[in-house]
Structure formats: C-alpha cells, structure tokens
Amino acid sequence: MTVLEASPAIGTEVQLSSEPVIETRNLDLVFQTADAPVHALSDIDLTIGKGEFVSLIGPSGCGKTTLLRVIADLEQPTGGTISVNGMTPHEARENRAYGYVFQHSALFPWRTIAKNIALPLEVMGIDKAERDRRVEENLALVDLKGFGRKFPWQLSGGMQQRASIARALAVQPDMLLMDEPFGALDEIVRDHLNEQLLKLWARTKKTVVFVTHSIPEAVFLSTRIVVMSPRPGRIHEIIDCDLGEDRPLDIRETPEFLAIAQRVRDGLRAGHAYDE
C-alpha cells in the first residue's frame, strides 16, 4: 500500500513547467438519482499546465468523463473550486477556450464534412471566407484534404473521428478535451490516430486532456497520467510520463515505456482492489 500513501504527494507537488490552465481544489460532484446519491467525483485536486498532454485513466464509474465534463461546463460540481484559464468553466466555455471531442464523432449526418467543421464557426458568427479558410486548413491538418464534400456516412469510422477533431480545432482553442475519442475504433486505426494526434499536439502545442481506459494509449500519448479509482470517483495517483517528444509507435516495446505502463497498471489495480 505504499503506492497508495505516496500518491497524493506526487499529485500535488508536481512542478509545472508552464502556467496552469486548469486548476481544481477539493472538487466534488454528487449526482442525485432516484434511489441513492452517486458520488461521481470526490476531493479532486488537479493542476494542468499549458501545453501538457494529460490522460485521465480508470475503470468505468471512476468519474474520468465526469471530470472532463466539469472542465467543459457540461456538468456542475457540487463542491470545491475549479478554474479554467483563470476563469470559471462557464466563462471559459463562453470564451470558446476548448474544443471537445466525443467518444463518437457526433458529426451531423445531414451536413457534409466541410459543413460539419464549419458548424462551430457558423455558431460563432464567423464570416464565410474565414470559415472556408479554416475548414481547408483543418481538413489538411487531419489528412482529410479532398473529403470536404463527402457526407459522414461515406467515410470510415477513423476518418469520421479525424473530421470531428478537425471540427474541434477549427474553433482555434487553446485546449482540447477528448473523451475516449478512439474508444470505438479498431486497434490498427487507433494506433494510426494516436500517432497523428501526437504529431498534431507537437505541432500546435495545445493543452490536451484525454480520457481513456487503454493503458498503452495513455502512456504513448501523455506527459502525465492521472489514475482514477471508482466509488467515489477520485484521483488515485498521478504518474509522470517523460518519454520525450519523439515517440514512434515502437517506443511501446522499450523498457521505459513498459515500466510506466506497469506503474499505471499497478495504480489501477490498487485503486480497484477494495472492490472485490
């Protein structure tokens, strides 16, 4: 149980190399349901710095998606404080501080890919010329040049998810919030998209908060990994993942990678142990 005792210290004392963009203190969220209140988040202390790639990992019911939704102002916390870019999540949302990528692409089936990417820009009231420019730019960024006039059903699942990432990027947010974006895709497509996402992150230097339940995915992508445990959903351990910026796919066979993966796995197991 030494890991368990040591873990909160790792979380709070980590030295951020950049200014914080997300800060939560004693964050609590209790859902009132018909039979019993559900403690979805309990005492979450987390600071995420600018340009970091932070993964939230844990078994289902650990509150990782809920935490992401609180950051996005899609859920309201019932206790504690949270700031996003120094503002409340509500203000941050109104300021379009983030782009949100859902588990499924959530493209509108009646809009072409280009029109889907333009959707947030239309909502923001950006003029047509600028919309077209940003659509082209972001289509290129996710390797979908020439697919703008296709409808979503004409694209594969992986391409649809890339389009949805382009849509999130079109807003030009400082931050990407991604909720198991590749969870519904097969492993080969997933590897490919992981590589692309990493390149994209290296190029744009955006802050990414990434929810996943895949250990290799978390280790491959992240600069830090937040291991969460369920009932009540809380942070069990925060693990640094300093594999450097250049991460080819076969880094996953290196001892450094496997050591971190092992630590994540141990953390998940320890956090889950009392459950059985």
Partner 1 sequence: MRLGAFVTLLRVRALPVIAVLLGILVLWYLGAVWLNAAFAYDAAARSGTELSFSEMIAQTMSQKRPVLPAPHQVAAEMWKTIVEIAPTSKRSLLYHSGITLSSTLLGFVLGTALGIALAIGIVHSRVLDRSLMPWIITSQTIPILAIAPMIIVIFASQGITGLLPKAFISMYLSFFPVAVGMVKGLRSPDAMHLDLMRTYSSSKLQTLLKLRLPAAMPFLFASMKVGVAISLVGAIIGELPTGAVAGLGARLLAGSYYGQTVQIWSALMTAAILAAVLVILIDIASRAVTARMGARP
Q: Which residues bind partner 1 (CB under 8 A)?
A: 72-74, 93-94, 96, 98-100, 102-104, 106, 108-112, 119-120, 122-124, 151-153, 171
Closest CB to partner 1 among residues 117, 215: 117
CA–CA gap between residue 45 and residue 148 (Å, rounded) = 42
Closest CB to partner 1 among residues 4, 126: 126
Q: What is the 8-class DSSP label of residue 17?
A: S
Q: Which amino acid is at 213?
A: H
For the bound state, the minimum distance from the C-beta of residue 153 to partner 1, rounded and expressed in Å, comes to: 6
Nearest CA-CA partner of 50 in 20, 25, 24: 20
Q: Which amino acid is at 116?
A: N
Element (H, E) at 69: helix 64-71
Closest CB to partner 1 among residues 144, 225: 144
Closest CB to partner 1 among residues 107, 235: 107
SS3 89: helix
For the bound state, the minimum distance from the C-beta of residue 140 to partner 1, rounded and expressed in Å, comes to: 22
Closest CB to partner 1 among residues 38, 106: 106
For the bound state, the minimum distance from the C-beta of residue 107 to partner 1, rounded and expressed in Å, comes to: 9
For the bound state, the minimum distance from the C-beta of residue 96 to partner 1, rounded and expressed in Å, comes to: 7
Q: Per the structure block, which two tokens stand in for 120?
A: 């947030």
Q: Per the structure block, which two tokens stand in for 169?
A: 């990027």
CA–CA gap between residue 74 and residue 240 (Å, rounded) = 28
Nearest CA-CA partner of 178 in 230, 190, 186, 188: 190
Q: Tokens 């290196």, residue?
A: 254
Q: List 27's β-bridge partners, or say none.
A: 44
For the bound state, the minimum distance from the C-beta of residue 204 to partner 1, rounded and expressed in Å, comes to: 19
For the bound state, the minimum distance from the C-beta of residue 77 to partner 1, rounded and expressed in Å, comes to: 16
User: 30 exposed, middle or buried (CB, 10 Å; 0-12, 13-18, 19+)?
Assistant: middle
Q: Which amino acid is at 8?
A: P
Closest CB to partner 1 among residues 123, 273: 123
Q: Per the structure block, which two tokens stand in for 92?
A: 């941050």
For the bound state, the minimum distance from the C-beta of residue 189 to partner 1, rounded and expressed in Å, comes to: 20
Closest CB to partner 1 among residues 177, 270: 177
Q: Where would I find the H helices in 205-254? A: 215-221
